[in-house]
A and B are shown apart, each in its own frame.
Chain A
Amino acid sequence: MSRIPERQALQPERTSLSWQRTALTAMVLLVPVVVVAARLESWWLVAIGSVVAMGCAVLVLGVRHRFDQLRDDSHSYSPFPVMVRVAVVTVLGALGGVAAAVAVMLRPG
């Protein structure tokens, strides 16, 4: 029997969609950093940015576990570990942005 009365107001579906929106946003965050670095021919930043972007994609892929959890009405799960992944991706994206800003300011000419 569902713990959610008649799955009222489609709560799990709305939460899943919310996770999807967040995950999709997080996944593309570092792409502009790599593009900027490539344009500035800052190859060290391209290399680091690409590796971190791939790491972020792997972290965000972990969100799929939350979809399974939201479909399972028989148990309660904590969303915290998945939220931490998204927060880590956001912080890495911010650090990538700062690194790109430093590269822009240090460019010759």
Chain B
Amino acid sequence: MAGNQSMDEERHPEGEHERRRPERVYGVGDEPDPRFSMANERTALAWMRTALALVAGGIALISVASLTEMPAWAPLVGSASCLGGAALAVRALGSWAKVERALRLRQPLPPPRSLAILATGVVLLAALTLVLGVIEATRL
């Protein structure tokens, strides 16, 4: 009986907002419009998919390097893309928490700094790949 009650509480807990994690987000402010929370969730998921795409791109480059006689820097560039994706995924969690907290506190939303970081990182990676590719081509 107690087990059933506990299970029921787990599905439909009273005062759910007090138990939600992380505490630093749900422990402050008031409940925002659920549409805003869901929009924030979808934005975080879009960042996650961007991170997954970076990792997948890195793995694809490494896969191609394993199939052909590509120069040694190709797996290194792939690794950099993978690690960048991992960092972006972790950052997406932090960004979600910051925005949700701002929504609950009715504060202005924080600026999307990840966007500038991502753009800079992708441009640098592309420039590095281009330069290494040109150097490799002039050697042949």
Task: Please list the residues of chain A having a beta carbon within 8 angstroms of any beta carbon in chain B.
Answer: 3-4, 8-9, 11-12, 14-15, 18-19, 21-22, 25-26, 29, 32-33, 35-36, 39-40, 74-81, 83-84, 86-87, 90-91, 93-98, 100-105, 107
Contact = CB atoms under 8 A, between A and B. Distances in A.
Contacts of B60: 32
B55 A97 contact: yes
Provide the main secondary structure of the chain A interface. Answer: helix
6 contacts: A11-B38, A90-B48, A91-B86, A93-B85, A101-B75, A101-B79
B97 A36 contact: no
Interface of B: 12-13, 16-17, 20-22, 25-26, 31, 34-35, 37-39, 41-42, 44-46, 48-49, 51-53, 55-56, 58-60, 62-63, 65-67, 72, 75-76, 78-79, 81-83, 85-86, 89-90, 92-93, 96-97
Contacts, number: 155
B41 to A, nearest CB: 5
Contacts of B81: 97
Chain A CB within 10 Å — which of B56, B76, B83, B89 has the most? B89
Contacts of A91: 86, 89-90
A60 B65 CA distance: 28
A29 B44 contact: no
Given A22-B49, A90-B55, A75 B13 contact: yes
Given A22-B48, A32-B60, A14 B66 contact: no
A18 B42 contact: yes
